[in-house]
Amino acid sequence: MSPAAPPLLRVEGLTVRYGALTALKDMSWQVSAGEILGIIGPNGAGKSSCFAAVTHAVPRLGDVWLAGERVTDLPTFRLARLGLRRTFQQNAFFGELSILENAMAAILREHSTSLSRSILLPWREAATRQAAERAAAELLTSFGIEAADHAKRPADIAYGTQRLLSVVLAYGAGAQALLIDEPAAGTGGPDMQRLADLLVELRRRRVAVVVIEHHMDLIMAVADRIVVIEQGRKLAEGTPADIQRNEAVLEAYLGRAA
C-alpha cells in the first residue's frame, strides 16, 4: 500500500453522549483499503460506541468520510449500501435459514435489483438462485466455513464458526469498510487462528478492516495500526510494536490486562 493512498474511511471528531455520559470524545482515525486497524481499550471505554457513531446508529457529533465523500448525514442503511458495514459483539443470523441460505440472503441483498427483475421473470429465477447458491457456497468455503456446515442452521455449528460467519455475511453483503466488534469474543484456541486468517484474507481482498478485540495476541498479530481508547478518548495510536511499549497504554490497559 502506498503511503499516499487516501483513506477509504476517515472519521473526525466523533463524540457520543448518552444523557449525561460522554461515551466517546473527539475520536479521529482513518483506515485504507487493504489495511487492518485495531481498536483496543478497557471494558466500557467507548469502542462499540465508536462503531455505532461511525455507522450513524446513534446521534453523534463529528464527521465521517467514505471513499472521499462526506457521508456524515447519511442514515445507517445508506452507509451499508455504500459498503460501510458493522458486525456486532452478539451474533445475528436468520435462525430458521441454513448457513448457505444466510449467505445467499447476504449476497442477494446486495443484488436486490437483479433479484426483483428475476421475480418479474419467474423463468429466470432458477438461474439466479443457482448462481446465488454457487456464489454463497464459494464465499463460505473461501473464508473457512466448510461445505459440511452449509446445510446446518447457525445454532447447530460450533460457536467459533458462528463468529466467523457473522463477519463473512457482512463481507458477502458488500462491505468495503468493515467494522468488526470482538470477533473472538467467547472463543479460544484454534478459533483464534481461523479468525486471524479471515481478517488477513479480508485485507488481501482490499477491504478496509477495523477490528475491536480484547485478545491481544490476535490484534497484535494482524493489525497494521492500533488505536487505544480509554474513557472515550484516544489514548495512543501506532503500530503494534509502538503500542506494546507505550507507557500510557501499559499503565492504563495492557499492564492491567497482563
Ligand X SMILES: Nc1ncnc2c1ncn2[C@@H]1O[C@H](COP(=O)(O)OP(=O)(O)OP(=O)(O)O)[C@@H](O)[C@H]1O
What does 94 bind: Mg ion, ligand X, none (CB cut-off 5 to 8 Å by kind)?
none
In the complex, minimum distance from the CB of residue 48 to Mg ion, in angstroms, rounded to a whole number: 3
- Can you give the three-state secondary structure of 61-119, one letter per residue? EEEEEECCEECCCCCHHHHHHCCEEEECCCCCCCCCCCHHHHHHHHHHHHCHHHHHHHH
What does 87 bind: Mg ion, ligand X, none (CB cut-off 5 to 8 Å by kind)?
none
CA 133 and chain centroid, separation:
24
Contacts of 79 (CB under 8 A, 6+ apart): 55, 56, 64, 66, 71, 85
8, 11, 23, 164: which one contacts ligand X (CB under 6 A)?
Answer: 23
Nearest to ligand X of 104, 195 (CB atom): 195
In the complex, minimum distance from the CB of residue 48 to ligand X, in angstroms, rounded to a whole number: 3
Which one of the spans 16-24, 111-119, 129-137, 142-150 is the region binding ligand X (CB under 6 A)?
Answer: 16-24
CA 58 and chain centroid, separation:
17
Under the binding rule (CB under 6 A), the answer on residue 48 touching ligand X is yes
Handedness of CA 144, 149, 154, 157 (dihedral sign): negative
1, 5, 13, 18: which one contacts ligand X (CB under 6 A)?
Answer: 18
14, 27, 33, 48: which one contacts Mg ion (CB under 5 A)?
Answer: 48
Which one of the spans 39-47, 77-85, 97-105, 132-140 is the region binding ligand X (CB under 6 A)?
Answer: 39-47
13, 44, 75, 255: which one contacts ligand X (CB under 6 A)?
Answer: 44
Under the binding rule (CB under 5 A), the answer on residue 87 touching Mg ion is no
Contacts of 210 (CB under 8 A, 6+ apart): 9, 31, 36, 37, 38, 39, 51, 177, 178, 179, 180
Distance CA 243, CA 69 (A): 31
What does 86 bind: Mg ion, ligand X, none (CB cut-off 5 to 8 Å by kind)?
none
Under the binding rule (CB under 6 A), the answer on residue 41 touching ligand X is yes
Inter-helix orientation angle 122-142/99-110, to 10°: 110
Under the binding rule (CB under 6 A), the answer on residue 45 touching ligand X is yes
In the complex, minimum distance from the CB of residue 13 to ligand X, in angstroms, rounded to a whole number: 17
3-class state of residue 179 by DSSP: strand
Point out which residues bind ligand X (CB under 6 A): 18, 21, 23, 41, 43-49
Point out which residues bind Mg ion (CB under 5 A): 47-48
